[in-house]
Chain A
């Protein structure tokens, strides 16, 4: 095998990984799992018991189900859907970076006005950033798809 065919083979493998999508029926599984996790997460807030480990686990599960929805193919995954998908991904990525940089500042400013004694600069957690990014992706993707 010469150097050119090795490089082509490597390119094909990378493309296969980049373009990998789950089959369409996973979307339904993802939404059901997401809804269930969301309901459990909200319900746990109404109890006085300490559910911190359960809540953290459910939060992770919620992100996994959202990722399944994001990674699932549409019924017809054609070139227009791919183009919409890449637009939504880039918007969500830029949005998440801006949100991660600006939100702690906004929180600090608001806290220093409302409760100046408790105003501290605090970074966002991984859950908040990932949740924001995937929700923005899904909203933009659905909006662009509907408009197309």
Chain B
């Protein structure tokens, strides 16, 4: 089995409105996919379906051969930093440790080895000196890297990222991209982004979501898309399955 993610005839509806319709695509293990499309096109909904937070109206999703809810142990998820209460009283190390909640012992604590893993995850994202800092005191870029460390601490096979560079400065954005490049090939990555120009050089392929899905090679992407001018027909609306 080479596919990390297999989506077949997937549709998602809320009441009478269709958010996603008949999506079918496969992502081989180790590939880095950039997900793009207009606002409200269904990108975040697709991530939530892949994570098993919501159930498809029809069709199926398999993550490493399992249903999404059963495959969560293999997935690391990096949400948008804007979604968080930035005044929440919690330290950086506590946030990262949340990626290891499965390892809690019966007394509700982590062992020494797991605490070390949390520290190593901070080293991996380059903010090991911030472990004891309050999450509230971090910049947007630092906070986003903390969420990345939280996703990486459990050594996931698949990494889902929802606009991880949306509210960070260019320096932090570059650092996050560099970090993702170190994971390329080892971890299957799907990253929602609006900044198509920046990620074009990093990703293997692109998934355009606007109710339907089109999986494209980089040379099939129209230059207009990088400017946010989405149109149809898409160049090369082919190669959908692989």
Q: Do A and B bind each other?
A: no
Q: Taking beta carbons and an 8 Å cutoff, which residues of A are in contact with B?
A: none
Q: Taking beta carbons and an 8 Å cutoff, which residues of B are in contact with A?
A: none
